[in-house]
Amino acid sequence: MTTILTAAALHTLDPAATGDAVAIADGRITAVGQLDDLRDAHPGAEVDDRYCEQVLLPGFVEAHSHSMAGGMWSNLYVGYFDNRDPDGEVWAGCTTIDAVIDRLSAADAAMDDPLAPMLAWGLDPIYFPGERLVADHLDRVSTTRPIFVFHASLHLATVNTALMEKEGITADTMAEGVPKDGAGNPIGELQEPAAMRLAGDSFMSMVMPLMSPEGIGAFGRLARNAGLTTAVDLGSGSLAGDGMAGMWQQVVNDPAFPARVSVFHNPGHGGPSDLDDVAALIGRRREESSEKLRFGGVKFVLDGSIQGYTARVTEPYVNGKDNGLWLVPPAQLADWLRPVLDARLLLHVHCNGDQAVDVLLDAFSEVTGGAPYDDHRTTVQHCQLTRDDQYRRIAELGMCANLFSNHFWYWGDQHHDLTVGPERAARMNAAATVLANDIPLSIHSDASVTPLGPLHVAWCAANRQTASGRVLGPDERLTVEQALHAVTLGAAYQLRMDDEIGSISVGKRADLVALDADPYEVGAAGLRDIGVVGTVLGGDHHAVG
Ligand SMILES: [Zn+2]
């Protein structure tokens, strides 16, 4: 049975496929052309004009996100920017510490059990320079209820005095990552997972829902509402246990789940520590892939974040902060990469700072002898401070770049003023340089670090505008066409799925997005204001809700 979808405008991102209608059968695109021609060619086909006032594009693809973006919403959002939850409700940003306290207090008043822990997320202290959120602030919300506030980076949390008393975090606590005041008392900040685990049940009840069927379900709704038909879970967990892999299969293979998901394994989150064993494990998992669920990717994280001053940089941070952290010892990296590349698994490596990129390129060259096997698609993730000379090496090694373009809006002013200064801020996420070097490009949200939203990411890459209105590095702006390519075919390529998704092409899966305005008409400035009406996944319709 063939269905012909009509649209006010159709942008296929495939020069060989033009027209105003798409024919779909058995979940695949069978023809693209003018409605009359398609009707003639498919007698008896049903014409579905539900999108006749909308603009159809290939479904968007996100090549750097984390499924915990869904589960986060089982807790209270206290981030700085407005954010839309999985049910479509917009939560206004908390732009002062008082606003954070007010939102926590309102939630406290609405809770029945006075001793139940309160969990919140999204706080980013970089927006509150000069004042550090500490336990005293949270004690204004409650002196009896344990309160745990996860920072946006997921590397820090702030807790109140009631929580510290309950869990025995005191002046005598000698653990690393528990800063103290002048009198020797803990201030309420818990840094990195080992310290956060001191928060006991509160921490666990914050973390457990993040990788649950409900959390993944919420991730699917966020993806659909953003117009994504495929998203990655880029190494949020380990695929070593059958439990986690089985949970992914149960949730994503359900026909009602509205997206395809590529799930990467991160050896840092559990499972075998021997990388030969990791490669064998993920090679086996790859065989368990389905139409909607893909295994077979491995992710490593080399350094931290720029705004957290934990990214590794060759030139110091401008405000004198120490250089960042290595999360993989550089000398060991080649030994980690070798088994993964030998097994022909898809390898994505997080490198925010340029020193991390140097280490990756050296290790990759050592493993491959500078001549990688064909079509490896190894991707430098974030790639934010990468220099021109490094882009030339990335091109020579046949690697891809996935840039964190959302940074311009969320932290561009902070990078300009506080972290790396105007010169490096202007060449961050240098998308035009990536394309000039013929490097396969995508751009991403890193959700939950910033919200899923390919049109917002595309807007950032096409405008490079900060929250205060500065434009950083105007020469690196993408055109609308380039930005849309990066969030469709560009991302699909890096997930090794471009042969089946990423453009509206005959033979590919019928994955589309319906928009309420035409990106080419509204232009670069209007991209983020375009509304998503719904998606089509393998021919099935999923309305935004
Ligand atoms: Zn990430």
Ligand 1 center to residue 337 CA distance, Å? 19
User: Which is nearest to 532 in space by CA: 455, 440, 441, 430?
Assistant: 455
Q: Are residues 201 and 246 in the same domain?
A: no
pTM as predicted: 0.95
Q: Are residues 203 and 236 in the same domain?
A: no
* Predicted confidence band of residue 193 (pLDDT cuts 50, 70, 90): confident
Q: Are residues 183 and 233 in the same domain?
A: no
Ligand 1 center to residue 381 CA distance, Å? 8
Last residue of a domain, one of 295, 320, 337: 295
Ligand 1 center to residue 543 CA distance, Å? 27
Ligand 1 center to residue 171 CA distance, Å? 34
Ligand 1 center to residue 450 CA distance, Å? 10
Q: Are residues 189 and 230 in the same domain?
A: no
Q: Are residues 82 and 202 in the same domain?
A: yes
What is the SS3 assignment for 3? Answer: strand
In this predicted structure, the answer to whether residue 373 has a pLDDT above a threshold of 90 is no
Q: Say if strands 46-48 and 3-6 run parallel, antiparallel, or are unpaired.
A: parallel
| Predicted pLDDT at 485 | 98
Burial degree of 515 (CB within 10 A; 0-12, 13-18, 19+):
buried
533: Cβ–Cβ under 8 A, 6 or more apart, which residues? 51, 54, 514, 515, 516, 543, 544
Q: Are residues 76 and 204 in the same domain?
A: yes
> For residues 299 and 324, what is the distance between their CA atoms, to the nearest angstrom?
20
Last residue of a domain, one of 176, 208, 240: 208
In this predicted structure, the answer to whether residue 488 has a pLDDT above a threshold of 70 is yes
**323: in domain:** no
> For residues 204 and 196, what is the distance between their CA atoms, to the nearest angstrom?
9
Residues in the chain: 545
Ligand 1 center to residue 468 CA distance, Å? 25
Q: Are residues 111 and 234 in the same domain?
A: no
Q: Residue 225: left if φ>0, alpha if ψ -120 to 50, beta else—which one? A: alpha
Over residues 441-460, mean pLDDT = 97
**5: in domain:** no
**Unique residue bearing structure tokens 């589309």:** 512
**99: in domain:** yes
Per-residue pLDDT of 215-242, as tens digits, reads 999 999 999 999 999 999 998 888 988 8
Q: Are residues 232 and 189 in the same domain?
A: no
| Predicted pLDDT at 203 | 84
Ligand 1 center to residue 307 CA distance, Å? 14
What is the SS3 assignment for 335? Answer: helix
Ligand 1 center to residue 335 CA distance, Å? 23
User: Do 363 and 335 contact (CB within 8 A), yes or no?
Assistant: no
**97: in domain:** yes
Ligand 1 center to residue 26 CA distance, Å? 34
**328: in domain:** no
The domain containing residue 113 runs over which residues? 71-208
What is the SS3 assignment for 409? Answer: helix
Ligand 1 center to residue 152 CA distance, Å? 12
Mean pLDDT of all residues belonging to the chain: 95
What is the domain count for the chain? 2
Ligand 1 center to residue 174 CA distance, Å? 30
Determine which helix (DSSP H) or strand (DSSP E) holds 231, and give its type and residue range. strand 228-237
> For residues 499 and 505, what is the distance between their CA atoms, to the nearest angstrom?
10
| Predicted pLDDT at 371 | 67
Q: Are residues 182 and 242 in the same domain?
A: no
Ligand 1 center to residue 66 CA distance, Å? 6
| Residue 29 β-bridge partners | 24
| Predicted pLDDT at 269 | 84
Q: Are residues 189 and 91 in the same domain?
A: yes
Ligand 1 center to residue 435 CA distance, Å? 22
Ligand 1 center to residue 63 CA distance, Å? 10
Ligand 1 center to residue 315 CA distance, Å? 23
| Predicted pLDDT at 192 | 82
**109: in domain:** yes
> For residues 122 and 157, what is the distance between their CA atoms, to the nearest angstrom?
10
In this predicted structure, the answer to whether residue 121 has a pLDDT above a threshold of 80 is yes
| Predicted pLDDT at 155 | 80
In this predicted structure, the answer to whether residue 36 has a pLDDT above a threshold of 90 is yes
Q: Are residues 268 and 146 in the same domain?
A: no
What is the end-to-end Cα distance of the chain in Å, rounded?
28
**449: in domain:** no
Per-residue pLDDT of 251-288, as tens digits, reads 999 999 999 999 999 998 888 989 999 999 999 999 99
| Residue 57 β-bridge partners | 513
Q: Are residues 183 and 112 in the same domain?
A: yes
